[in-house]
Amino acid sequence: MTVQLTTYKIHTYEDGSRYEGQWVNQKKHGKGTQYWANGDKYAGDWLDDKKTGQGIFTWNSGERGDTYTGDWVDGKKSGQGIYTWSNGKQYEGQWKDGNVYGRGKMRYPNGQVKDGMWSNVDYIG
């Protein structure tokens, strides 16, 4: 019988990034928050060092101010989720392998709404 000990710790990486949360076998596993040196942040579920389960990612670099709240599988947006861009645009719906895919609704800052099927960033009706 193998016993997996879950511990809570704060780990700071050489680049200044930091993880606070549960660990199993020296891997992020369970509930935890990762703070990257560039200001990005993920708070949610981890499985074997990968974002898996429910979580919220907030970008402070690149897509400054964008957020994603929803399902993750193997470190990628997958399942149901809401992505909100800093300019007010918002997509709510299905994701696959990190991309918009399946049924969803895109709301644009000008009030326009597209509700239907999506493949990556393309609205297919």
Residue type, 96: K
Cα separation of 33 and 91, whole Å?
24
Residue 18 — very low, low, confident or very high, per pLDDT cuts 50/70/90? very high
Q: The pTM is what? A: 0.90
Would you list the domain boundaries of the chain? 33-123
Q: What CATH number should be reported for the domain whose range is 33-123?
A: 2.20.110.10
CB-CB contact of 104 with 93 (8 Å): yes
Which pLDDT score is estimated for 5? 81
Query: How crowded is residue 111: how many other Cβ atoms within 10 Å of its Cβ?
Result: 6
Residue in 111, 60, 119 with CA at minimum distance from that of residue 93: 119
Residue 24 — very low, low, confident or very high, per pLDDT cuts 50/70/90? very high
Q: What is the Cα Rg of the chain in Å?
A: 17
